[in-house]
Amino acid sequence: MRSLIEGLPPEIAKRIHPDWQKNEVEYWAQRDTLLRQYADQWIGFAEGRVTASGMSPVEIFHAAQASGKHPFITRVGHESEPNRMRRSSFPYDPTYPNEPRAVITMGI
């Protein structure tokens, strides 16, 4: 599998921590085994093991990043699907079922 770093502009790629790339390579080496247990789940993978797993990409991102081990984060079995995470601030409705939803005021 081609590294995600290969698709980045060189000025961005050089800023990626080497441990992240090592974790990506190790993930792909273990992917078939991980697919059996973590199919359709988001995981953080570092130092040869899953550091966080679940259905919420945001929760997994935060939990995996908290390890400080530059984890590779992906949705197992959906690696080729595009995904985007944005850094924005909005008020949230905590009463919405499952995950809180952003509250955005729109005008017509």
Closest by alpha carbon to 51, among 18, 27, 22? Answer: 27
Neighbours of 43 (CB within 10 A): 22
Six token digits for residue 64: 């995996």
Q: What pLDDT digit, counting tens, does each position of 67-92 carry? A: 899 999 999 999 988 876 666 677 88
Q: Which residue has the higher pLDDT, 42 or 82?
A: 42
pLDDT digits (tens, 9 = 90+) for 1-20: 778 888 888 898 899 999 99
Q: Answer whether 47's CB lies under 8 Å from 60's CB.
A: no
